[in-house]
Amino acid sequence: MWRGGWGPFTRWMDAICSGMTVPADIDLPLLAVFDAIHRERSVTGAARRVGLSQPATSAALARLRRRLADPLFVRTPAGMVPTPRADEIAPAVREVLDTVRMRILARPITDPAASAGTLRLSIVDASALRFLPRIVAHLQRIAPRWTVETVPLQPAEVPRALETGDVDLAVGNLGALTAPGFYRQRLESTRYLVIRRADHPRLRRAPTLRDYLESRHAIARAPGAPPSVLERALAARGHVRDVVLQVPQFLLLPAVVAGTDLIATVPAHVAQAFAGPASIAASPLPFKAPELVLHQGWHARTHDDPLGRWIRATVRAALRVPD
């Protein structure tokens, strides 16, 4: 996606901050400063983001405060905390800036595959194992000047990152991405499998439901993540696992299982990547549970953007998902 700075506005900003009389309709740089402070929670960070000096950024904030008759941001030990008025106008300010960036300043890209770009993905470990090699390989074939950057985010951080443009696309278990203004497209579904060490002293065969509930478990749950479909299925049956280890990523579980008597329940592609007769055994769940559905998700701000559509189509093609 286009990620240019605000260099074209620097002369306007200098004029505004030096007290020169300028028409009101070129106060867009003030909005850029407001948005940067709202994102960074820091005048210094905001100055760096928009490419201005700290005094110029402070002067812009002072002008905004006078014009809007509100402090907008209050300095605290945790940074510049927005006032209710600042939080109220932030989405509208961001919408204006996005329009300028994407429809006025950005040069039209008629053929993204022939251009250079960076695809910024929010993708969790298990989904990265499943999808990332295919996405990168496909991009290398059709758009060799593009690069891919994965952005580590907690589930609660994904909506805001999509809204602000810090990431272009989210891929994975996006069951919580249901708020207005967001879109999801199904990529595939996968079942869960139970993994255990191949020489487990008690579970020589695939565990029964009783075995499963009497075993000690290692689970993966990202901080702030809602209960998974597996956890909801267990709760609906009144079952409770004996969890002795919780980690933030599925890919940490195979090594734990191989070296302990713990068992773990993981997406099938994780189990299949690590299972082997000398280390880890995989078997079906001993009860019925919904499959884990994996999506790509995006914000409304890029829904109709030609480059956004190309990115999503490229991911679909890489994964051979029909339109």
Task: Please indicate, yes or no, whether residues 185 and 297 belong to a single structural domain of this protein.
Answer: yes
Among residues 105, 123, 142, which one ends one of the domains?
105
Q: For 88-100, write each residue's pLDDT tens digit.
A: 999 988 888 887 7
Pair 286, 196 in one domain: yes
Residue 198 sits in the same domain as residue 286: yes
Separation between Cα atoms, residue 187 and residue 320, nearest integer Å: 9
**pLDDT (tens digit per residue) in 199-224:** 999 999 999 999 999 999 999 998 87
Judgement on whether residues 274 and 310 belong to the same structural domain of the protein: no
Domain assignment present for 248: yes
Residue 51 lies in a domain: yes
Extract the tokens encoding 206. Answer: 């695939």
**pLDDT band of 107, cuts 50, 70, 90:** low
Write down the pLDDT at residue 247.
95
Whether 41 and 182 map to the same domain: the answer is no
Find tokens 């090594």 and name the residue.
Answer: 255
- Domain boundary pick from 67, 82, 105: 105
The domain total for the chain is 3
pLDDT band at 109 (very low <50, low <70, confident <90, very high): low
Residues 11 and 100 grouped into a single domain: yes
- C-beta atoms surrounding 201 within 10 Å: 7
In the block, which residue shows the tokens 């559509």?
A: 309
Structural domain contains residue 1: no
Full residue range of the structural domain in which residue 214 is found: 192-290
- Does 297 share its domain with 281? no
Which of 14-23, 96-105, 234-243, 294-303 is predicted with the least confidence, judged by mean pLDDT? 14-23
- 119 occurs within a structural domain: yes
What tokens were used for 259? 């070296």
Q: Could you tell me if 243 and 96 lie in one domain?
A: no
Answer whether residue 277 shows pLDDT above 60: yes
Q: Which residue has the higher pLDDT, 279 or 26?
A: 279
* 2 in any annotated domain: no
Q: Which CATH number is 28's domain given? A: 1.10.10.10
CA atoms within a 13 Å half-sphere pointing along the CA-CB vector of 307: 25
Question: Which comes out higher in pLDDT, residue 176 or 169?
Answer: 169
Q: What is the CATH number of the domain that holds 257?
A: 3.40.190.10
pTM: 0.69
Same-domain check for residues 311 and 277 = no
Residues 75 and 124 in one domain: no
Please report whether residue 151 resides in a domain.
yes
Name, in order, each residue with C-beta under 8 angstroms of 48's C-beta and a sequence gap of 6 or more.
none
- Which residues is 170 bridged to in the sheet? 122, 297
- Whether 14 shows a pLDDT value over 70: the answer reads no
Neighbours of 85 (CB within 10 A): 13
Compute the average pLDDT of residues 148-158.
Answer: 91
Instruction: Provide the sign of the torsion angle of the four alpha carbons 288, 294, 299, 302, taken in this order.
Output: negative
Ranking 28-42, 49-63, 75-89, 106-120 by mean pLDDT, the lowest is 106-120
> Domain check: are 303 and 175 in the same one?
yes
In a domain, 157, yes or no: yes
Q: What is the pLDDT of residues 182-193, one digit of tens each?
A: 999 999 999 999
Domain-located, residue 69:
yes
Domain edge (last residue) among 105, 140, 171? 105
Rounded Cα–Cα distance for residues 246 and 227 (Å):
13
Same domain, 118 and 245: no
